[in-house]
Structure 1
């Protein structure tokens, strides 16, 4: 008996600098309008295929393959390099690309997050590929001229951050925070980050804690809050002794996800929107806790 299809959703956090118009709909519409792909690994490319602010800020991300038409081809009949005569039989229109996979996404402009289906119909779009696409696309001249230097990060699992900071035999905590949206961060943390970045023209804030001698780190409330900020706006890395070996772990290896299996007769888009809303609510709660 076939298993019910599975759907997983992750999220990215996008921050337009406060020196520019923070119009996230316009940003995504501009990216979609450029109709340009980014090579994310090997011969795989990712592009925004469609976006509509009139349809609940929904869109589709396409993943496809670029093939080298002019390279050597393998003839399975002769089990050898294809001859020039066989190659003359190849006729692929210049505009076509194979291996298309499509993934829903939804923009939540007030939260400046994009929820993306990263697994659907037995096909996957890794968060690493997603991040690579957006980081390169947001650096395109057409984007930077209109929106400035836009930051983007995969939203990491908040519980994973807590687990990393609660590890036994913790020897090092490294927190890297790229410029956050100050509306998401409580006053005291915003002061720490914004003052040290904005006033000194910095782009990243980094804080490192290391234990002395045989002692172990015991992160305090401030460090835990910075870890939550880093979960959306940067990186958290820890080093601890596991089975006698110094081991590094990264929160980026634990993206925040929402997933479920559903009946084949259920509309995939409806299931996606439900998961997207759940992930948005999780992020909203984490931000409220920072400001509480």
Structure 2
């Protein structure tokens, strides 16, 4: 049996209005059709390089995200043998086509149009696609003028873990809890809560709500069941930040530092990397997060 290989994944929550599986499917297809590279950091870029619609009847779309280096051919080149800048004559001998990019890596993804969740592989053959990078890619695609004119302001957030929320609420002394909720879809709140939040944000022409709990002098904020319930919503639609004190002194914690992660190891002789990826993410009615 071959040595088992690490496989891991994260998840984004994508929210559009109106809120229908058909609109989400169309959105994903349109951002794919852009064939647009998005800058992640430095020279690293990413794009959706493959979209598979064979499971579209079930609201499932799979594909590949490819990351690569985008070289500035007009920039200064360095000759490591001579330890000085390369001459124009030396640079003129470089004949890499502009549509070829080095140091590429591929990561599988799966989009559930029914739950508007996009699961993406975060580790492949030693290369990493972080949650922040995946967010940058899809936010960059949704900010394209043609996309934003058709779909409006897409709200995209990294889903964070319940374990991370429990950790930040376990700080011995909590001076402040700040909960931010980005304007949600109508399917995530109980009827009364959803209606009030939606109406309040719409009436104020606002896209997010921040709720802050500050401790009385000499006291610590208690995360009540109500606070925990609101915070659970923020894990998929915003974040929760806590300021307080522990044995080391003043601390600041955020659920942003605890993204939801799925991970395991697989035998490459028994299954493909794509099969391993799909085996660790929620399927059907299993939420998993």
TM-score by length of structure 2 reads: 0.92
CA distance in 1, matches of 2:20, 2:108: 28
* Contact persistence 2:21–2:113 (CA under 8 A): no
Question: 1:8, CA displacement in angstroms?
Answer: 0.6
Go from structure 1 to structure 2 and tell me whether the alpha carbon gap of 1:279 and 1:241 turns closer, same or farther (over 3 Å shift).
farther
Question: 1:3, CA displacement in angstroms?
Answer: 5.0
CA distance in 2, matches of 1:100, 1:13: 26
**Which residue of structure 1 aligns with residue 105 of structure 2?**
101
**Which residue of structure 2 aligns with residue 5 of structure 1?**
5
Moved more, 129-138 or 17-26: 17-26
CA distance in 2, matches of 1:192, 1:38: 37
Question: 1:250, CA displacement in angstroms?
Answer: 0.7
CA distance in 1, matches of 2:19, 2:184: 13
CA distance in 2, matches of 1:201, 1:222: 26
CA distance in 2, matches of 1:60, 1:11: 15
Moved more, 35-44 or 72-81: 72-81
Counterpart among 119, 124, 127 of residue 115 in structure 1: 119
Helix, strand or coil: the match of 1:184?
Answer: coil
Helix, strand or coil: the match of 2:160?
Answer: coil
Moved more, 76-85 or 145-154: 76-85
Question: 1:147, CA displacement in angstroms?
Answer: 1.3
CA distance in 1, matches of 2:247, 2:285: 37
User: How many residue pairs are counted as aligned between the two chains?
Assistant: 284
**Which residue of structure 2 aligns with residue 127 of structure 1?**
131
**Which residue of structure 1 aligns with residue 210 of structure 2?**
206
Counterpart among 246, 257, 262 of residue 258 in structure 1: 262
* Contact persistence 1:59–1:105 (CA under 8 A): yes
CA distance in 2, matches of 1:280, 1:61: 25
TM-score by length of structure 1 reads: 0.91
Spell out structure 1 runs of 4+ moving beyond 6 A: none
Counterpart among 217, 220, 225 of residue 229 in structure 2: 225
- Residue 267 in structure 1 maps to residue 272 in structure 2: yes
Helix, strand or coil: the match of 1:6?
Answer: strand
* Contact persistence 1:115–1:279 (CA under 8 A): no
CA distance in 2, matches of 1:232, 1:85: 54
CA distance in 2, matches of 1:199, 1:89: 62
**Which residue of structure 2 aligns with residue 169 of structure 1?**
173
* Contact persistence 2:9–2:263 (CA under 8 A): yes
Helix, strand or coil: the match of 1:182?
Answer: coil
- Superposed, 1:31-46 pairs within 5 Å as 31-46=31-46
Question: 1:78, CA displacement in angstroms?
Answer: 2.1
CA distance in 2, matches of 1:188, 1:121: 47
Identify the structure with the greater helix proportion. 1
Deviations 1:44-98 (A, max 9, x none): 1111111122255111111111111122222232232222222121101121111
Go from structure 1 to structure 2 and tell me whether the alpha carbon gap of 1:19 and 1:262 turns closer, same or farther (over 3 Å shift).
closer
* Contact persistence 1:164–1:249 (CA under 8 A): yes
Go from structure 1 to structure 2 and tell me whether the alpha carbon gap of 1:53 and 1:100 turns closer, same or farther (over 3 Å shift).
same
- Residue 241 in structure 1 maps to residue 232 in structure 2: no
**Which residue of structure 2 aligns with residue 282 of structure 1?**
287
- In angstroms, what is the RMSD of aligned CA positions? 2.1
